[in-house]
Structure 1
Amino acid sequence: MPYTQQHKEQTRQRILVAAAKLFCSRGFDRVTLTQIMQKANMTHGAFYAHFSGKSSLYEAAMQFAVSHAFWARDDKRTEGKETHLKALVTRYLSWSKTDQDHPSPLEFLVTDAAHKEEKVRQAYQACFDTLVERLATILKKRGNPEPEALAEETVVSLVGTVSIARSISQPLQNDFLKRAHERIVSRLKMA
């Protein structure tokens, strides 16, 4: 008996969730299809029913992660409040405590941005573009005269901050993140 469309979609979702978690924590090169399918509690046959290879899975997993990450959500309840951007920055810089069900790929995938495989680079670029667009939309609603430029600058600051924070020792890490948070939030308030 063939599987229903609903079952097929649920299977695909399980693979995407597992792949997004692993890719976001380890990067493209350090994750195997076996690890992904074990995390999804599925067989390799299920993988090939949905994806042609690791690169196509990576692309789909990053799109999934972007669409489900906290910064991509459209929360109408907080959209107009002053605290929304501060909360966004705070959540992003709390990378050690990020939503494990819906990881935010940019802070973990700095090494994948310069990957040799074009499909991997394009998936990373799409993640970056989505975050910039989301921030620019918020800034534009607030009347910022150059929302795209400030949004891009902010995303670069966030990604760079987390990348550096992950590489320094714990006692210095908290102070570094706190100072970066203050700088970024201050810049956004002035906008």
Structure 2
Amino acid sequence: MKVSKETMAEHREKILASAAQRFRERGFDGIGVAELMKEVGLTHGGFYGHFASKEELVALASERAMDDSRARWEKIFEDSPENPLGSLMDYFVSRHHCSLPGSGCLVAAVGSEVGRQPESVRNAVTAGLRKTFDLLGKVVSARTKESRRKKAITAYASMVGAVVLARASNDPALSQEILQAIGGAVATDAV
């Protein structure tokens, strides 16, 4: 049975969306192609009609996850023009975000794995980082473009680090202390 272009596009989208979520939840090696395809209701063999390899899927899913995060941030900024950075901190360095790695920040979820991935994956993440720094640079305060970029990088590194540390701790009080310390420092431009 021949599948229409529309159906193929829908299947590809389902695979990509599921992969973006599952890789953040389990890591890049935490789910295989067969299990992923089963989750979306497709056959393992059908995977190769959509992607040349798992590596290609990892790169595209990483790009998708980072694009989705930036879109979420843009919505936060749009909804809170009076305090976009504070509103971002309320979302990003929160217990809620920490508890849902599958729908949260890719770098906070699997950043330590990216350096061991093929160049195509690292290229996708690097491009995503640049776009993220550019977006964050629009809401941090600084006099020059160069200093805004440095503040954006510092803020993002602090945010990601806070989420990683909070997830690593099995002490809820310590996790909350980490999140509040970084959220407050970034929101008040102390980093």
TM-score exceeds 0.5: yes
Q: Please give the per-residue CA displacement for 1:27-79, whole angstroms capped at 9, x wherever unaligned.
A: 21222112211222211122111101111001111111122225555339727
Q: Which runs of 5+ in 2 are unaligned?
A: none
- Alpha-carbon spacing, 1:119–1:151, altered in 2? closer, same or farther (3 Å): same
Q: 1:161 maps to which residue?
A: 162
Match of 2:185 among 166, 183, 186: 183
Is the Cα–Cα contact under 8 Å of residues 137 and 151 in structure 2 kept in the other structure?
yes
Q: Please give the per-residue CA displacement for 1:128-161, whole angstroms capped at 9, x wherever unaligned.
A: 222112111334xx66422211111111111111
CA distance in structure 2 between the aligned counterparts of 1:91 and 1:65, rounded to whole angstroms: 16
- Greater mean deviation of Cα atoms: 171-180 or 124-133: 124-133
After the TM superposition, which segments of 4 or more aligned residues of structure 1 sit over 3 Å from their partners?
A: 70-77, 97-100
CA distance in structure 2 between the aligned counterparts of 1:4 and 1:53, rounded to whole angstroms: 22
Task: Describe how 1:128-147 pairs up with structure 2 within 5 A.
Answer: 128-139=129-140, 144-145=143-144, 146-147=147-148
**TM-score, structure 2 as length reference:** 0.84
Equivalent AA in structure 1 for residue 84 of structure 2 = H
CA distance in structure 2 between the aligned counterparts of 1:171 and 1:91, rounded to whole angstroms: 18
Is the Cα–Cα contact under 8 Å of residues 79 and 138 in structure 1 kept in the other structure?
no
Is the Cα–Cα contact under 8 Å of residues 77 and 87 in structure 2 kept in the other structure?
no
- Higher helix proportion, which one? 2
Is the Cα–Cα contact under 8 Å of residues 162 and 179 in structure 2 kept in the other structure?
yes
**TM-score, structure 1 as length reference:** 0.84
Task: Describe how 1:20-169 pairs up with structure 2 within 5 A.
Answer: 20-69=20-69, 74-75=74-75, 78=78, 81-94=81-94, 95-98=97-100, 102-139=103-140, 144-145=143-144, 146-169=147-170
